[in-house]
Amino acid sequence: MPAQAAENSATNGYEPKWWKEAVVYQVYPRSFKDSNGDGIGDLKGITSKLDYLKKLGVNVIWLSPHYDSPNADNGYDIRDYRKVMTEFGTMADFDELLKGVKARGMRLVLDLVVNHTSDEHRWFVESRKSKDNPYRDYYIWRPAKDGGPPNNWTSFFSGSAWTLDPATNEYYLHLFAVKQPDLNWDNPKVRQEVYGLMKFWLDKGVDGFRMDVIPFISKPAGLKDIPPEYLKRPQYYYTQGPHLHEYLQEMNKEVVSKYDMTTIGEAFGVTLEQTPSLVDDRRHELNMIFNFDAVRLAHPGPQWVGWKLPQLKAIYAEQNDKLGVHDWNTMFLSNHDNPRVVSTFGNDSKQFRVPSAKLLVTMLLTLKGTPFIYQGDELGMTNYPFKGIADFDDIEVKNAWKAEVETGHISAESFIANLRKTSRDNARTPMQWDASANSGFTTGPKAWLAVNPNYREINAAQGEKDPESIYNYFSKMLAFRGTTKAFAYGSYEDLDPKNEKLFVYTRTLGSEKYLVVLNFSDEAVSYSLPGGVKAGKLQISNLGKAEEVTNALKLRAWEARVYRQ
Ligand code: TEU
Ligand code: CA
């Protein structure tokens, strides 16, 4: 046996790493906690809630962008990478937050948004001035073609990905909003700027980066038209740039390899087949990526299509098959770009919200891959009852309204009905801290986005007080996972992939074997474990004590159990 493999026999061949054993909690600063009553969450607000996060039991905090920004896309349009967004506070507030995170033995991961900047970034302000400006080549400029945009590329926020700039009468590329011009990574100066700003934050002591749409940094050669088969899902085309791996390896050599840090690529448009090319640890590119197959199962495109349990299981089985000991996976079903996890994959009715939210975290923390929890999931926060276009803030929604509803392609009713299930704003409503006005999120008269009206029942104060709450169950599950290496490194086997109601799987590390049984339905289910498997000793159940069993289980609606075999 090679030395390395022998060394890693206790971890099933995986090289042990802190980021493989951690659970990450995503904070969306604008909606987490407002400290000064202006209705906008801020860094001081986050610092004031670090004890809450520590008590919950998460190890790493990922902060969505906190940099200076005109907020065309809530901070994903950065004006100055070395400055804190004024609404969020000052650099001193950031240093205080980082200190607080470290003092509690947690880690901080920042968002690195370097596929594009804001159009108000100094580089773009210069770049658009003239064709011979020293910053011209920091972005992607092209002349018109046949009196229109240079190619057929579309923006994720509706319309062409090209905007004509009158100053020089050329088009610039923006895969997202008009105010988010794409950087030209083929320019070595741009890459050096990025490495410099990464070091700026790493030298302060942050523990890594979640990299926004990182597979888009190298554009497909020749900027040709999107081929017809990709037109509906251009993200699978935009990830085909020829230099992606070269740039990530360069970034690793110049920055990442010099720090004890983690890298998580947001890999919208990357297939599972392509994944090892980004995360195989012998390639020195990224530690792990977000694959969208599971999170977008019910809405792979803009339209809600629903989902079935065997489809979700098939995704996890395939991930398990296609990723080897040199790769690593992530597990997540929610973030700031997706609707609420309990509303999408559970059942957010009065009767089943609590058990289904608990079931979902049982699953996320016992599947293979580093779990990511989105703020408010620990309270079972739900989608928002949107009534009309005025209820939304998201630029994606506003642009789509103009493109689809105002042009008469879609009726207002069906547009809003779809958004109630799919909109990003579902996840962006303020954290529900307590039953006081504006859910205790702000002391001011108005939060930047309306609080979900269910905050009087669903809030952190309730969660911390009630021993049967979703919050306390999360905390128990997090502690369990934290002390059980089999959930990080154990092998995975789905015992009944076709079952439409139950998800039944094992995680095995050496002699340690766990059986997870999840009832994803509104009904009780009687079930005999396949192949005479015995359930073993019950470790955790989301519905309190379950009957003692050998191999015939009676599961209540949305019941989740973990056994040690
Ligand atoms: O998201 C890009 C992405 O992959 C999509 O989820 C996208 O936001 C949208 O849902 C397309 O329909 C990242 C950020 O997470 C998102 O908040 C930003 O808006 C986007 O990049 C641009 O920076
Ligand atoms: Ca504030």
Question: Minimum-distance ligand to the CA of 175?
Answer: 1
pLDDT band at 170 (very low <50, low <70, confident <90, very high): very high
* pLDDT higher than 80, residue 546: no
pLDDT at 398 over 70: yes
Question: Residues 303-321, buried b or exposed e (16+ Cβ, 10 A)?
Answer: ebeebebbebbbbbbebbe
- Cα–Cα dist 239/213, whole Å: 9
Average pLDDT value for residue range 294-310: 97
Centre of ligand 2 to C-alpha 303, Å, is 34
The mean pLDDT value of the chain amounts to: 97
The first and second tokens of residue 419, run together, are: 């958004």
pLDDT above 70 as % of the chain: 98
Instruction: Check residue 541 and report its DSSP letter.
Output: E
- Residue-wise pLDDT for 24-46, tens only, equals 999 999 999 999 999 999 999 99
Q: Name residues contacting ligand 1 (CB within 6 A).
A: 73, 76, 113, 156, 176, 212-213, 266, 268, 336-337, 396
How far apart CA 254 and CA 252 sit, in angstroms, is 6
Tens of pLDDT, residue by residue over 261-296, are 999 999 999 999 999 999 999 999 999 999 999 999
Helices 244-254 and 188-202 meet at what angle, rounded to 10?
40
| pLDDT of 467 higher than 70 | yes
pLDDT band at 1 (very low <50, low <70, confident <90, very high): very low
Phi first, then psi, for residue 45 (nearest 5°) are -60, -45
**Given this model, what pLDDT does residue 544 score?**
85
> Is the predicted pLDDT of residue 5 greater than 70, yes or no?
no
pTM assigned to the model: 0.97
In a 13 Å sphere around the CA of 408, the CA atoms on its Cβ side amount to 0
Ligand 1 pocket: which of 30, 268, 336, 338 to mutate (most atoms <8 Å of CB)?
A: 268
Ligand 2 centroid – CA 42 distance (Å): 5
Q: Whose CA is nearest to atom 14 of ligand 1?
A: 212
Is the confidence at residue 6, as pLDDT, over 80? Answer: no
| Nearest listed ligand to the Cα of residue 296 | 1
Region 365-386: mean pLDDT is 98
Neighbours of 300 (CB within 10 A): 14
Helices (H), 219-262: 235-238, 244-254
Amino acid identity of residue 522, one-letter, is D
Instruction: Check pLDDT > 80 for residue 3.
Output: no
> Which pLDDT does position 70 carry in this prediction?
98
**What was the pLDDT predicted at 550?**
66
What spacing in Å lies between the alpha carbon of 549 and ligand 2's midpoint? Answer: 53
- Residue 500's alpha-carbon distances to 312, 313, 496, in angstroms, are 10, 10, 9
Cα 430 from Cα 452, distance rounded (Å): 8
Inform me whether the pLDDT recorded for 450 exceeds 50.
Answer: yes
549: pLDDT strictly greater than 80? no
DSSP state of 227: P
For the CA of 424, the nearest atom of ligand 1:
10
Rounded to whole angstroms, the Cα distance separating 322 from 210 reads 23
Check residues 128 and 547 and name the one with the higher pLDDT: 128
Residue 478, pLDDT above cutoff 80: yes
531: confidence class by pLDDT, cuts 50, 70, 90: confident
Helix %, strand %, coil % of the chain (to 5): 35, 15, 50
- CA 390 – ligand 1 centroid, Å: 21
Res 213 pLDDT > 90: yes
Beta strands 552-555 and 525-528, pairing class: antiparallel
Q: Tell me the C-alpha distance between 176 and 168, whole Å.
A: 21
- For the chain, what percent of residues have pLDDT higher than 90? 96
Q: Which residues are catalytic?
A: 212, 266
- Atom 18 of ligand 1, residue of closest alpha carbon: 76
Compute the average pLDDT of residues 546-551: 68
Whether 217 has a pLDDT exceeding 90, the answer reads yes
Backbone angles phi, psi at 26, to 5 degrees: -90, 125
Phi, psi of 390 (to 5 degrees): -65, -20
Q: Is residue 514 within 8 Å of 539, Cβ to Cβ?
A: yes
Res. 411 pLDDT band, cuts 50 70 90: very high
Spatial separation of the C-alpha atoms in residues 281 and 289, rounded to whole Å: 12
Place of tokens 């809450």: 52
At 545, the pLDDT band (50, 70, 90 cuts) reads: confident
Give the integer Cα–Cα distance in Å for 445 and 440.
11
Sign of the alpha-carbon torsion through 470, 28, 247, 206: negative
Average pLDDT over residues 200-225: 98
The pLDDT tens digits of the residues spanning 66-98 come to 999 999 999 999 999 999 999 999 999 999 999
